[in-house]
Structure 1
């Protein structure tokens, strides 16, 4: 099966680590391309290319401010990713709940677990 073009799918777009880095930086608010490039130690054209992909899949939005182009996260574009990862949150919460119950059982019966005794 052919892989979806990077620019048509948010999941493929964030598969690129540098694009995830850009999204992390934008969590704190709007940033200019030059500022992102400096923080990422990338050239401005490289940064712009990644931002274009993120914009085309709806993960960021851009606005002009004088000669600058400011980028910000687009919450609506992030919704499918949030919903998908949310299913794993339930998995991890269940795993942590089971671990907590196990630790509580160990705390209630420390001598049995220390010696390796069983209830045979």
Structure 2
């Protein structure tokens, strides 16, 4: 990924909703409508986020009739793909740790 394109990609993923959109389309292709259903903002707002992701080379677009389908373009991301995957894995690890702590606390509470 060229230096300028990489800077655009980093700026694009700096926005939390765009990171979440990327996570949604990381392993699967989703229509714009399916993506928009996951957010509490207008379809137009999600569409603008998708345009930024597409313009920065982070997602691919496939049009079928009137529907637009998006998928993360991990190959085009280069090292940014590894970073995002590691970030999401760390978040899942943190969530798992918190769940385990809550379960232990509940068990301790139940035994006293």
What's the TM-score once normalised by structure 2's chain length? 0.64
Structure 2 counterpart of 1:38: 37
CA distance in 2, matches of 1:82, 1:69: 23
State how 1:14-53 maps to structure 2 within 5 Å.
14-53=13-52
Aligned residues: 81
Residue 78 of structure 1, CA deviation: 2.0
Residue 43 of structure 1, CA deviation: 1.2
Residue 27 of structure 1, CA deviation: 1.8
Cα distance per residue 1:94-120 (max 9 Å; x no partner): xxxxxxxxxxxxxxxxxxxxxxxxxxx
The structure with the largest alpha-carbon Rg is 1
Structure 1 counterpart of 2:75: 76
CA distance in 1, matches of 2:65, 2:24: 22
CA distance in 2, matches of 1:63, 1:41: 24
Structure 2 counterpart of 1:11: 10
Structure 2 counterpart of 1:67: 66
Cα distance per residue 1:23-44 (max 9 Å; x no partner): 0110231111111111122211
Tell me the SS of whatever aligns to 2:27.
coil
* Greater length-normalized contact order (CA 8 Å, ≥ 6 residues apart): 2
What's the TM-score once normalised by structure 1's chain length? 0.60
CA distance in 2, matches of 1:38, 1:74: 21
Cα distance per residue 1:1-49 (max 9 Å; x no partner): xxxx9xx611111000000000011023111111111112221110110
Residue 77 of structure 1, CA deviation: 2.5
